[in-house]
């Protein structure tokens, strides 16, 4: 058994559990006094930064000035690791709501927290219901200053950018909200797929120029999806590799 794995099990694991239970309890508490979800988001952002500190992750940001914290966006990011979400949540100054798979809402404590925070359940096995959920996400963007984070690849990858699903473009067009490409580097080396070993290291998060969607219709979603993917590919050029930067 490697030293890195021993450290992950003996040190990192308990710290993650303590941070999650403590901040989760605080989030539930503040939700009793704030139905907007803003206070819970602040707690979630603090939790994300705690996790990154435990993981010994050093985040470098590029392009943050391109977004307005008071606007609603659809953020579309490549997906390398479970660490991607804390990186975006902890360092992008926006009020996030997430599209989470339906099974997570059945997990004790976690499911209740997700519902109280206003996150949206996605029934992946039911295409028609998934379309209704995307419509609900678009309505949320139109009626509030919340933003949505989507990983268009649909799952974590081995490092090469995969084809994008059209959900992010669908939501952005329906909401009339800009879609913002995000490029994440380095998280796969922090926590690779199919492993419990956590290694500290550098992570770079690059924010691309927001792509407006005014005047677009749902018939344009394939073209918009290809445009977003091309922007992220440019920001990842030269292509990301398994090795840390």
pTM for this model (two decimals): 0.82
Instruction: Provide the angle, in degrees to the nearest 10, between the axes of the packed helices 221-235 and 167-175.
Output: 110
Taking 80 as the threshold, does the pLDDT of residue 221 lie above it? yes
Q: Could you report the per-residue pLDDT of 84-96, keeping only the tens digit for each? A: 988 998 999 888 8
* Assigned domain for 84 exists: yes
Q: Is residue 198 part of a domain?
A: yes
**What is the arithmetic mean of pLDDT over 88-111?**
78
Q: Give the CATH number for residue 105.
A: 3.40.1130.10
Percent of the chain at pLDDT exceeding 70: 76
How long, in residues, is the chain? 245
Confidence of residue 240 (pLDDT cuts 50, 70, 90): low
The arithmetic mean of pLDDT across residues 75-104, rounded, is 86
Would you say 43 and 19 are in contact if contact means Cβ atoms under 8 Å apart?
Answer: no
Q: Closest Cα partner for 198 from 185, 188, 209?
A: 188
As beta bridge partners, residue 206 has: 62, 183
Question: Is 200 contained in some domain?
Answer: yes
How confident is the model over 133-150, as pLDDT tens digits?
Answer: 889 889 989 888 889 999
In this predicted structure, the answer to whether residue 128 has a pLDDT above a threshold of 90 is no
- Residue 178 inside a domain? The answer is yes
Residue 245 has pLDDT above 50, yes or no: no
Q: What is the CA radius of gyration of the chain?
A: 18
Residue 245 lies in a domain: no
Kindly tell me if the per-residue pLDDT of 131 is higher than 80: yes
pLDDT for residue 1 is more than 50: no
On whether residue 208 sits in a domain, the answer given is yes
**Domain-located, residue 72:** yes
Query: Hey, which of 11-20, 105-114, 188-197 has the most confident mean pLDDT?
Result: 188-197
What distance in Å separates the CA atoms of residue 200 and residue 89, rounded to the nearest whole number?
18
Give the pair of three-digit tokens for residue 97: 């709501």
195 domain-assigned: yes
Mean pLDDT of 10-27: 56
Q: Which domain holds residue 79?
A: 3-235
DSSP state of 233: H
Count structural domains, the chain: 1
């Amino acid at each position: 058994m490697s030293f890195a794995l021993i450290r992950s099990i003996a040190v990192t694991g308990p710290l993650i559990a303590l941070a999650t239970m403590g901040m989760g309890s605080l989030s539930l508490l503040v939700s009793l006094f704030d139905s907007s979800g803003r206070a819970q988001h602040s707690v979630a952002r603090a939790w994300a930064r705690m996790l990154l500190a435990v993981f010994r992750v050093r985040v470098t940001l590029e392009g943050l000035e391109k977004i307005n914290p008071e606007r609603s966006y659809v953020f579309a990011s490549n997906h390398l690791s479970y660490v991607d979400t804390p990186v975006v949540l902890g360092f992008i100054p926006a009020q996030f709501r997430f599209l989470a798979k339906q099974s997570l809402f059945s997990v004790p404590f976690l499911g209740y927290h997700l519902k109280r925070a206003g996150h949206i359940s996605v029934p992946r096995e039911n295409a028609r219901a998934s379309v209704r959920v995307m419509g609900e996400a678009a309505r949320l963007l139109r009626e509030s200053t919340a933003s949505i984070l989507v990983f268009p690849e649909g799952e974590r990858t081995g490092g090469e950018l995969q084809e994008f699903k059209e959900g992010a473009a669908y939501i952005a067009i329906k909401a009339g909200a800009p879609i913002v490409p995000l490029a994440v580097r380095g998280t796969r080396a922090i926590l690779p797929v199919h492993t419990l070993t956590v290694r500290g290291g550098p992570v770079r998060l690059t924010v691309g120029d927001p792509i407006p969607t005014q005047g677009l219709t749902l018939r344009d979603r394939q073209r918009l999806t290809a445009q977003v993917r091309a922007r992220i590919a440019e920001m990842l050029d030269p292509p990301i590799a398994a090795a840390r930067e």
